[in-house]
Structure 1
Amino acid sequence: MTWHRYVALGDSFTEGVGDPCGDPGGDPGGDPGDLVGWADRLAGELRRAQGALDYANLAVRGKLLQQVVDEQVPAALALAPDLVSIVAGGNDLLRPGADPDALAAVMEAAVVRLRGAGADVLLATGVDPRATPLIGRTRGRSATYNAHLWSIAARHGARVLDQWGAAWVHDPRMWDVDRLHLAPEGHRRTALAAAAVLGVDVEPGWAVPLDPAPALPRRARLAAEVAWVRSFVVPWVGRRVRGRSSGDGRTAKRPQLQPV
């Protein structure tokens, strides 16, 4: 298919946190500190495949699913897109007591609105967190939410990027130091995976896992765990206690459709 107006919705994953300009594979035309991300890269793949594309990215880090639906979906519909990616719910699932069934109902209502406006919709499952300390405790509710996403897609003719089943994504080198966001290579492969789901011919071999990395000594692994907790887990808990979000005061990086 050919799309003319692609709008990306979501949180930090779609905003592109972990994939700054200037990193390998990034956008050389971006300003230092700007983010690229899988959705920007997907827009580039679509442009290369079909010759032209207008693209907007409304995602803002830290947003919960209901905020994405309330704030970003109406803004997206005003742009009259024919393709929308909506990936959200991960921030909700990190919180104790999150209800994946209730989240799925919110997501389905959003998909119905977007499909009713004539847009094709791309969803994405979450990554299996089994190997990540602390975050692995969310595995059960994450799996339940993912199952809902597949059912929603089947009912309403949406497409699904399957991150849960991707073998390459479990390589630590695909992840930023915070272990929550993809690194540039992870964003690049996610974009190619999404393009393939949309029927675009992409470079061969993108899904092949990297060669195994040398194992770190036990002391180095323990030091890395302690540093991760201090640098990322503790600040995250602090924001939750204060009722703050990493996205407070931030706006979308690309709020209007622009040619890619």
Structure 2
Amino acid sequence: MTEHPAHPWRRYVAIGDSFSEGMSDLDPRDEGRFVGWADRLAAELSTRTGDGDFRYANLAVRGRKLDDVVGPQLEEALAMGPDLVSMVGGGNDILRPRVDLDEVADRLEQAVARIRATGADVLMATPADPADAGLLSTLRARHGVHTANIFTIAQRQGAHVINLWGIRSLRDWRMWATDRIHLSTEGHRRVAQAALVALRQPVSDAHWNQPLPPAPAVPRREQLAGTAQWTRTHAAPWVRRRLTGRSSGDGRPAKIGQLTPFGPTDLPDA
């Protein structure tokens, strides 16, 4: 990585759900483990400390709702004495048939205020714009309100925001995994660069926000077959979990449960 000016953070903790855990940026060295934008951000920051003293923990777990993110995860994170916390939560709540977006925003702001009161910086993220996301485009109104709320919280509390809504390249389906909900490896790489922008740090890839070359047209028959496959493989199991009160993260521990030295060599594509 290119050498960049040092930054003030030495203890970075990520809390949240599958987005911050890193789904679906698979780690080929460890089946079932994901890398993700937060790991990639930590690797970038670790090279810029100036003194080599950098530690990282990732407490995010797939399927977690806001109760867990601003509850047990937040408590565990604060106990580590971080100076930077990324907190992205509420996405799983917004997917429910009924949600009070004002309540979600109030709880997030209370959590941000608690973190800021310790002197630590906070990194949040908006949802991506689902305008071109097929069936998920019906969530656009909710995501738009949530985005406005995130920026309002950040303005009041002095937090940083990854503006996923404004990254037009993320509206390309190739930035997303086959489940159409989680980012691909390329998507996570780009979000890590967007996180550096949000933290007012130099990026390591000057072309990170350029769109991919145009994709070849997909025949209508293949589109329909792909949607049917997606329904069987991803949508139906998700609905079954909701109906039975289960979560994909049930019984799953945090990926990096304590502050740990972390750098570029901890990434699979180092």
Which TM bucket (shorter chain)? over 0.9
Deviations 1:57-109 (A, max 9, x none): 00000001121111100000000000000001111111111111110011001
Q: Does 2:222 match 1:216?
A: no
Task: Report the AA paired with residue 230 of structure 2.
Answer: W
Give the drift of 1:130.
1.7
1-side partners of 2:132 and 2:242: how far apart? 24
Give the drift of 1:134.
2.5
Give the drift of 1:131.
1.6
Q: Does 2:91 match 1:90?
A: yes
Q: Does 2:230 match 1:232?
A: no
Counterpart of 1:115 in 2: which secondary structure?
A: helix
Match of 1:6 among 12, 27, 43: 12
Aligned pairs for 1:26-65 within 5 A? 30-51=29-50, 52=52, 53-65=54-66
Structure 2 counterpart of 1:25: none
Give the drift of 1:142.
1.4
Task: Report the AA paired with residue 101 of structure 1.
Answer: D
Q: Identity across aligned pairs (percent)?
A: 52
Structure 1 counterpart of 2:4: none
Gaps of 5+ in 2: 1-6, 263-270
Q: Does 2:26 match 1:20?
A: yes
Counterpart of 1:208 in 2: which secondary structure?
A: coil
After TM superposition, the score normalised by the length of structure 2 is 0.91
Structure 1 counterpart of 2:165: 164
Deviations 1:108-158 (A, max 9, x none): 010011001111000000011122233221211111111111010000100
2-side partners of 1:149 and 1:197: how far apart? 13
After TM superposition, the score normalised by the length of structure 1 is 0.95
Answer whether contact 2:133 2:171 (CA < 8 A) is retained: no
2-side partners of 1:196 and 1:146: how far apart? 17
Structure 2 counterpart of 1:71: 72
Task: Report the AA paired with residue 146 of structure 1.
Answer: T
Gaps of 5+ in 1: 23-29
Answer whether contact 1:9 1:58 (CA < 8 A) is retained: yes
2-side partners of 1:140 and 1:66: how far apart? 23
Number of aligned residues: 253
Give the drift of 1:21.
1.2
2-side partners of 1:66 and 1:140: how far apart? 23
Structure 1 counterpart of 2:113: 112
Give the drift of 1:54.
0.4
